[in-house]
Amino acid sequence: MPDIYQTIASVSEGIYKEKGSKFIAYAHPLNDENAVKEIVAVYKKKYFDARHHCYAWQIGVDGSQFRENDDGEPSGTAGKPIHGQIRSAGLTNILVVVVRYFGGIKLGTSGLIYAYKEATADAIANATIVTRTVDDYYRLNFGYIAMNDVMRVFKEEEAHIINQDFNMACSIDFHVRQSLTDRVVSRLEKIDSASVEFVMTK
């Protein structure tokens, strides 16, 4: 399983117009599918007079977590082409919402697919693409006497400290790129008094 992926740095916007219909696309970075409903609700409120608010999202390096929503458009004409553009761009951890204003002339199945595809492509083209790593998060507990050994590992390895507490009992919250996890955790566990507790992968 690769531990590196591409996503977008911030919200971007795209647009496509055809025969009076207007398709406004918004691409959002996304780490949690639970945020989808809230983001879509924002656009439904902002564009309350629009006929459709279609979207697709994908999370995870392997692309196995995704959802497509046509919001009343003919099946497969909105969510699927939006998701297709996400995949074509090689992106994940992203949500694209496309708001459609109907212009009075029906575009047909192929016309709709093309319009949603182009609006999404424009939003992605206007985005800043960034490379991220999949990281494992841990908590390290250790005795004060092991401080030098612990800090040596963090100095020599690509492990990133989030929080540290050196009061009565010492603890460090840190994250490390998944492909380096085994090596870092193994080094830490060899230190007397040290215990490493897995928290999450993100």
Q: Is 190 helix (H, G, I), strand (E, B) or coil?
A: coil
Of 31, 89, 97, 87, nearest in space to 59 by CA: 31
> Which residue type is seen at 30?
L
Give the CA distances from residue 74 to residues 96, 97, 110, 150, 201, in Å, rounded to whole numbers and listed in that order.
18, 17, 11, 59, 37
pLDDT tens digits, residue range 127-140?
999 999 999 999 99
pTM (two decimals): 0.83
The percentage of residues in the chain with a pLDDT greater than 70, rounded to a whole number, is 100
Residue 27 region, left (φ>0) first, then alpha (ψ -120 to 50), else beta?
beta
Q: What is residue 1's predicted lDDT score, i.e. its pLDDT?
A: 62
179: which 2 tokens? 């492909």
> pLDDT digits over 51-83, tens only?
999 999 999 888 889 999 999 999 999 999 999
**Of residues 136, 118, 144, the one with CA closest to residue 196:** 136
CA pair distance 92, 161, nearest whole angstrom: 26
Q: Go through the domains of the chain in sequence order and give each one's CATH number.
A: 4-131 (3.30.230.30), 134-201 (3.30.70.240)
Looking at residue 163, its pLDDT comes to 96
Beta bridge partners of 96: 27, 56
